[in-house]
Amino acid sequence: MLDAFANQLKSSLGIESLTDYFLIDERKVKWLNYRLEILFEQHEGQAFVRFRVTNFTGSGNNGRRRKAYPWPVADPANPVEIVQITRAILAANAPEAEVIDPRSRFGRFFDRLCGVTRINTMPEIARCVAFGREEFFTARIDEDSRGRIVTIMIERGKGRAPFWFRLPIETVQVLHDRFAPHVQE
């Protein structure tokens, strides 16, 4: 029902779906299930990839959190942007990567108290102008009892809260592996 409403709203705004959502990865990490789906769509001649992340516990009947966000791509048949973003995240996860940690001493203490280890922070992975405003991807990789979790944030301009979602690092690897062999850079 909610999907039908979203599709009707998108079509009234002139957003045309080029594909249906297709599953990239679904995995259970401790008590929480993560599902990443993407679709390609077009608005006023600009192609977008829409990431849809769903987190849920149990069967998914309650406690479901779904977030979706579009990111512009030059060519849906050759989504170089997805490969560049995932490659940057995976490189920051490598043991030899330079570690960036902008937290204060208090922030590091609080994370340590909560059992969270910051692996790395990527201040800016990609930048674009979409819908008349400049946006950019940032990410951080943390490790806790669930394993390594990537928090991806889309900064949407000064004075606006970032849009964010979390994925296991393995899901980012699956997304990269899905598109990297087929993309021509």
Q: What is the pLDDT of residues 111-159, one digit of tens each?
A: 889 999 999 999 888 888 877 788 888 999 999 988 999 999 988 877 7
What local confidence, expressed as pLDDT, does residue 160 receive?
Answer: 79
- Which H helix or E strand runs over 43? strand 32-43
What local confidence, expressed as pLDDT, does residue 182 receive?
Answer: 80
Distance CA(143)–CA(149), nearest Å, equals 6
What local confidence, expressed as pLDDT, does residue 63 receive?
Answer: 73
CB 24 within 8 A of CB 171: yes
Nearest by Cα to 24 from 125, 173, 162, 165? 173
- Only one residue has tokens 């991806």, namely 152
- What are 93's two structure tokens? 């996860």
CB 36 within 8 A of CB 168: no
Distances in Å between the alpha carbon of 81 and those of 3, 29, 158?
A: 26, 27, 24
- Total domains, the chain: 1
HEC states along the chain? CHHHHHHHHHHHCCEEECCCCEEEEEEEECCEEEEEEEEEEEECCEEEEEEEEEEEECCCCCCCEEEEEEEEECCCCCCHHHHHHHHHHHHHHCCCCCCCCCCCHHHHHHHHHHCCEEEEEEEEEEEEEECCEEEEEEEEEEEECCEEEEEEEEECCCCCCCEEEEEEHHHHHHHHHHHHHHCCC
What local confidence, expressed as pLDDT, does residue 24 receive?
Answer: 96
For residue 163, the enclosing domain spans 2-182
What local confidence, expressed as pLDDT, does residue 1 receive?
Answer: 53
**For the chain, which residues score pLDDT lower than 50?**
none
